[in-house]
Structure 1
Amino acid sequence: MEGIARVVEKRETRGLILIAAALLAMITLTAVAPWTGKPLAVAGLTPMADATDVDLGAAIMVTFTEDVDPATIGPNSLQLSEMGIPVKASVSYDTWTNSAVLTTKMPLKSGARYTATLAAGPRDKAGNTLETSQSWSFTTRRDFEHGFGGPVLIIHSSDLPFSKYLSEILRAEGIGSFESADISSVTAKLLDRFDLILIGEVPLDDAQATLFSRWVEAGGDLIAMRPDKKLASLLGLQDKGESLTEGYLLIDTVSAPGRGITGQTIQYHGSADLYTLNEGTTEIARLYSNVSNATPNPAISIRNVGDAGGQAAAFTYDLARSVIYTRQGNPAWAGDERDGNSVIRPNDLFFGAKEGDEQPDWNDFNRIAIPVADEQQRLLVNLMNFMLEGKAPLPRLWYFPKGHKAVLVMASDDHGTRSGTEDSFERLKAVEPEGCSLADWECFRATSWIYTSSGLSAEEARTYASEGFDIGVHVNTGCSNSPPMDFARMFSHDLYAFRMRYPDLPAQTGSRTHCLAWSDWASTPKAEARYGVRIDLSYYYWPGPWIKGRPGFKTGSGLPMRYADVDGSMINVYQVASHLVNESGMSFPSAIDTQLDRALGPEGYFGAFGTHYDFSDGFDLQLTAAAVARGVPLVSAQQLLDWTEGRNNSHFAHIELSQEALTFDAFTDRRTGTMLRGMIPAEISGKDILTISRDGLPVNFEKTIIKGIAYAMFPVETGVYRVSFPTDDQRVELTE
């Protein structure tokens, strides 16, 4: 009876909590959108007019200035069409956000332009009717797996989305000159168009294995991720019939392609198949069963095949899956509160020492200083360059503007302070270079995610936005663990409330949820994508007793890359970790100095480092001082998003190598301005580069060594490039 009483008491308490929450929501909604007595009008459109890169599952909404009578919203109130053809959809009214919402029967098409039309007729509670119709258009994103064409082909399976993530890895590494094809469509004629193919972890039949073998024997270069056992002979491997899960690898850094990559053992996630090397096969990296115990089995290998110059390389584990799991955590721990704090957060996906279920931390904190996911991606690129020697090399794009190796993403969470956001913005303006160029990332800018109770006025917010600062709502779940559907509604409502308070600000594109509430694996970025948020900083380096004062890479990465769902499907939101957090318990400013110096120094641990401050201390001043001392840009999340999207939409094409020169075309996105930098191997066909020209005019370049490879780095603008070789063995001194 006592137990039953406790259950009843809990249910009654929960009921009271739910009633209180409902009353609070009603009060909040009333406060957000009281009737103004003005004519009914449209307050906002989602997606915005002429928006591009819109997610295929995006919300299509019209938000009104007043609460509308739901009876006046019908199936014809909001319609969608593509090229004049109606799209099947249903229409509903959301009282939380005063919005008419259109839900399509099928996902939107990629790369399509849609037109939405709001009909006249909606009426508010006071009887005011919207008298005029309104139409607007937007364009959806391209398919993630496709590049812009070129000498590289990624082979994936639509049934195994992890295999498609290789395209995101290449984009992050500045390579857009690739195409992608499903394994079911691969033919000999298709393969003959490419110099190098990457095969994701996909099963092959005998005919497909034979097809790839013949292509390599004819001179093609192949890299396979956790290859089908039918390729073992081609790869020069002897199958042991066993696998090693959650192990380590040690890269041979003495010679190419491992030269320049970390020489410490680093983790991979997932399973690696165990092989031994056949005669003539070279080991690039060795599998380790733990951080210090080597196995006799290769992690990565390469073999010359036939007399035509073909090569076959293998990652015995799936790099794509490993990168996703390193960045996002252990999917088996999704929704599991592990660190003893009441809220489920992203760090619970990495925290091993749960009471009653103690396991190793997901990412080894003894290697936390190393961006282990990024290092393995860079090894892949080194391997690709190594295999393409003697063929047309791959031009690449550098990670950040103007060759910068580190960037600080200044991001504050304003929990309703009177002037915290304003004061921090003014501090940045006070120390930025006089006459700085905002477009060239010379001015110091930041993001502030704020409560609608913030002291920042709508006029002040509009002024700061016009100066290039980024302001959005700090979505507040009340530090509760909310089911995905509830979180999506809260997210939508907070965006709406913010829009009502600050109607003149641009659409919000970034977020970091209050208390970092993260109820499962990927519901948060999926909700963000639906409402147009494209960059997220919720993966937060915290709490202090776990970190133990060690600056580094909890997610194994310093690069903005898209989230993935549990099946590996890409989500159109970039993950940027909050690496430098004022409440992490690290020693500041020394931890800031260490993070930046590892990026700028010989380690080459480059990154866009997310930050967190909340005006409770002088952390933003410490970040600014460290960056200024090193010439590191201070930017907002919006600036990083614009840059990343612009860089990913820029590419090289028509890459051709002759006896005299390498030629290619460059296509640049306007969002990169004049800041884009390209990279080509400094030695091509055994000859040093002599000159680079664009459209017949000389282009200055600098030779530098990046991760063991000598590159020529040059400014990139749209045009036709020609890279010439010297007539003698002239060498240009390399600079690190």
Structure 2
Amino acid sequence: MTVAVVVADEQDVGKFGRYLAEILRAEGLADLEIVGLTSPRLHDLTKFATVVVARSRPSREQTDRLRAFAKGGGRLVLVRPSYYLARAFGLAPASTMVAPAYLRPLGTSPIANALPQEAIETHVPADSYAPEALPAEAVEVARLYADVGTPTSFPAIIELPFGDGRVVVFTYDLAQAVALIRQGDPNRVGGRGLGAGEPYRIQDLLTGYADSGCWHLPQADLHAAMLVNAVNQVATLPQPRMWYYPEPAHRSVLVLDSDDDWSASEHFDALLGAVDAHGGKITVYLMSGTSRETVASPEKVAEWRARGHSFGVHHDPSDPSYGGEDPEEVIVDLVRKDLADFDRHYGGVPTTNRNHCLAWKGYVDVPKVYAELGVRMDLNSVGAGPSWLKYLTGSARPMRFVDVDGTVVDCFQQSTQAYDDLAVKGLLSADPRGQASLTRKLMEEKVTRYYSPLSMLSHPVSFFTYSRTYMELCWQAARELGMPIWSAFEWADFVVARDRARISDATCTDGVLRCRVTGRSPAGALTIMLPVASDRVTRATVDTEAVPVTGLDVFGWPSSLIPIRVDHDRASPHEIAVETC
């Protein structure tokens, strides 16, 4: 049994339905199905362990089908249900809203265990429900807040029994909230919010929009974790999902890359040699443009590639050769030209990218052209200036971009939190050990609580002239904390392989949970996570061979991690069996 996501593509309110499914996929639910609100499959939902209903306006007949499904024992997660759908499940809409809403956990519900005991933002309206009119056995999981410190009387998340089934209600559009937290306000497109001058950046969509009092929290990741916890809470069968990394021992990775910025040969040699010494790999984005050329010749790049490092393009739409044209008007054609030039000189299409000075266009114009040309991951979302070492995008986890109309763009957004450039040169020059200590605390938080990667940028020239002490202390800390140091290419290759892996045929009979995992991994391994405490697991096998089980509390949910050895290049099926007591 799997999870269904019911979407209404044809409705204006339903445009983020498929992005809701994308959030669940990014969280590792690799066996979900998308069901159209008007599809005949809505007539029989009994094969699904949980049905997640994205924001929509169901007809009376569709509402009756969802109601009958839950009453007969089905499990539902409703995301900002319509007025009539909410009333069908015994709720009392107050016909008001909190806009934009914050929310904070209440009580000890496992759903909200993902959240700290403080409010997080949504950027979207949340519907108000009369608290005194909640059904008798309903549980308020989280409370709506008007801001980080002002509670309302209205619930943000509600869990309730309904007939023989169970229902969880999110009173806000979680999918749209995640999109806005990660990517910023589309109404700010073309404006400047960061205060850093030219060029226009994605940070201009976020700075002044994202609540700086919440930057210390990965808010988008927390919303996603609550959605998964809601599925875990009500599902008729524990839902296996892909762990975030290849091995159970991996709780985070350090994703390392570099912007050329016309560095000299000795700068490259120093940086790449130090990365080698720490057992890591790095991706370097080479300068484009005609006014100044990179020193990284095809011969040098071939030599560095032989050591395991990788190379892409550092597109520069502000190059003087473009005659002072607006970088937004230059960048799309420039990306096409640069990638063709790169293929001719160095060979191949880069897997990941970051632009010079983080140049951007529109809302998701740049990721769209990357997706068209085969670039799989964008790293332009850097916590610049005051958001240094924080979560400006509310996330450190990779996830595909989404356009304003809800279209999912096949290019992953990966935020970068630590770096060396002019914005932090003073900090890293004056107190490299103190800043490395702060970065280590961020790593420890990731390893013990959030399980997200740390993306780190080191320019060759910066490393050579002022940031070496800081960088090497951070890399040493990563190794001590069990964080592999991967290049951006290596990380993106794994993210894509994990995304393409599938979990199917999940069943539970006589205390044995079974499923099939089909996939490959450049690391030679995948790991599945089962929302079952490890002390309940008596034996786990992969293709009938016993494997170790690692217990871990994941966003408040006791879970078991099960490793699977897979091919590097060819997806193959593996049979998983987990015996529980």
Is 2:20 the counterpart of 1:154?
no
Instruction: Return 222-231 or 257-266, whichever deviates more.
Output: 257-266
2:356 matched to 1:523? Answer: no
CA displacement at 1:253 relative to structure 2: 5.3
Q: CA deviation at 1:559?
A: 0.5
Secondary structure of the residue aligned to 1:716 is strand
Over aligned residue pairs, what C-alpha RMSD do you find? Answer: 2.0
Q: CA deviation at 1:635?
A: 0.9
Question: Is contact 1:692–1:698 with CA below 8 Å preserved after alignment?
Answer: yes
Residue 683 of structure 1 and its aligned partner are, at CA, apart by: 4.7
Structure with greater proportional helix content: 2
Output the amino acid matched with 1:446: I
Farther off after superposition, 364-373 or 610-619: 610-619
| Structure 2 counterpart of 1:446 | 282
Describe the shift of the 1:285–1:236 C-alpha distance in structure 2 as closer, same or farther (beyond 3 A).
Answer: farther
Question: 1:673 aligns to what?
Answer: 524
Partner of 1:540: 382
> What is the CA–CA distance in structure 1 between the aligned matches of 2:518 and 2:118, rounded to whole Å?
38
In structure 2, relative to structure 1, the CA distance for the partners of 1:481 and 1:264 (3 Å cut) is farther
Deviations 1:597-639 (A, max 9, x none): 11123xx122122222222232543432232232211111111
After TM superposition, the structure 1 stretch with the greater mean CA deviation from structure 2, 581-590 or 238-247, is 581-590
- 1:36-67 superposed Cα distances (whole Å, 9 cap, x missing partner): xxxxxxxxxxxxxxxxxxxxxxxxxxxxxxxx
For the residues of structure 1 that align with 2:479 and 2:577, how far apart are their CA atoms? 37
- CA 1:339 to 1:710, structure 2 compared with 1: closer, same or farther past 3 Å? closer
What SS is found at the alignment partner of 2:253?
Answer: strand
* Pairing partner for 1:179 from 16, 19, 33: 33
Shift of residue 220, structure 1, vs aligned partner: 0.5
SS in 2 for 1:288: strand
1:402 and 2:244 equivalent?
A: no
2:570 equivalent to 1:722 = no
1:297 matched to 2:154? The reply is yes
Q: Which amino acid aligns with 1:312?
A: V
Deviations 1:100-138 (A, max 9, x none): xxxxxxxxxxxxxxxxxxxxxxxxxxxxxxxxxxxxxxx
Q: Per the alignment, in what secondary structure is the counterpart of residue 130 of structure 2?
A: strand
> Given residue 576 of structure 1, which amino acid in structure 2 is its aligned partner?
Q
Alignment of 1:306-325 (within 5 A): 306=163, 308=164, 310-325=165-180
Q: Secondary structure at the match of 1:400?
A: coil
Q: Which residue of 2 aligns with 1:461?
A: 301
Secondary structure, in 3 states, of the residue corresponding to 1:578? coil
AA partner of residue 492 (structure 1): R
Structure 1 length as normaliser, TM-score? Answer: 0.71
Q: Call closer, same or farther: CA 1:707–1:682 in 2, change over 3 Å.
A: same
Q: Is the 8 A contact 1:396 1:680 kept in 2?
A: yes
Cα distance in 1, alignment partners of residues 286 and 117 from structure 2: 43
Name 1:639's counterpart in structure 2.
Answer: 490
Instruction: Verify the 8 A CA contact 1:677 1:713 in the aligned structure 2.
Output: yes
* Change in CA separation of 1:476 and 1:704 when aligned onto 2, cut-off 3 Å: same
- Correspondence 1:341-356 to 2 at 5 A: 341-352=197-208
Matches of residues 202-601 of structure 1 in structure 2 within 5 Å? 202-252=56-106, 254-277=108-131, 278-280=134-136, 281-306=138-163, 308=164, 310-340=165-195, 341-352=197-208, 362-388=209-235, 391-403=236-248, 404-419=250-265, 420-432=267-279, 444-451=280-287, 453-478=293-318, 482=326, 486-502=330-346, 505-543=347-385, 546-547=386-387, 551-583=389-421, 584-585=423-424, 588-601=435-448
Q: Percent identity?
A: 27
Q: For 1:653-674, what per-residue CA distance to the aligned partner results, in whole angstroms no more than 9, with x for missing partners?
A: 1111122311211212243512
Cα distance in 2, alignment partners of residues 591 and 538 from structure 1: 22
Residue 582 of structure 1: CA displacement? Answer: 1.6
Question: Partners in 2 of 1:179 and 1:260 — Cα distance?
Answer: 25
The question of whether the paired residues in 1 share the 8 Å contact of 2:327 and 2:359 is answered with no
Other structure's SS at 1:175 match? coil
Instruction: Tell me the equivalent position of 1:35.
Output: none
Determine if the alignment matches structure 1 residue 708 to structure 2 residue 563: no
Alignment TM-score, normalising by the size of structure 2: 0.89
Residues 254-301 of structure 1 deviation map (CA, whole Å, 9 limit, x = unaligned):
232223532211111211111124232211111001111111111111
1:536–1:236: structure 2 CA closer, same or farther, 3 Å change rule? Answer: same
8 Å CA contact 1:421–1:448 kept in 2: the answer is: no
Identify the residue that residue 90 of structure 1 maps to in structure 2. Answer: none
Distance 1:483 1:471, change over 3 A: closer
Alpha-carbon distance between aligned partners in 1 of 2:396 and 2:223, rounded to the nearest angstrom: 13
Is contact 1:262-1:375 (8 Å) kept?
no
Structure 2 residue runs without a partner (length 5+): 428-433, 566-572
- Matched residues in 2 for 1:472 and 1:683: separation? 43
Name the amino acid aligned to 1:612.
L
CA contact (8 A) 2:5 2:32 kept: yes
Q: Does 2:35 align with 1:191? A: no
Shift of 1:590: 2.4
Hey, what's the Cα distance between the residues in 1 that align with 2:166 and 2:96? 25
CA distance in 2 between counterparts of 1:451 and 1:381 reads: 41
Q: Distance in 2 between matches of 1:670 and 1:610?
A: 20
| Per-residue deviation, 1:484 | 5.4
Assess, with a 3 A threshold, how the Cα gap between structure 1 residues 161 and 233 changes in structure 2: closer, same or farther.
Answer: closer
Q: Describe the SS at the equivalent of 1:568.
A: coil
Q: Is the 8 A contact 1:176 1:650 kept in 2?
A: yes
Report what 1:657 is aligned to.
508
1:465 positional shift? 2.0
Is 1:610 the counterpart of 2:464 in the alignment? Answer: no
Say which SS state the counterpart of residue 367 (structure 2) adopts.
helix
Q: Distance in 2 between matches of 1:253 and 1:260?
A: 13
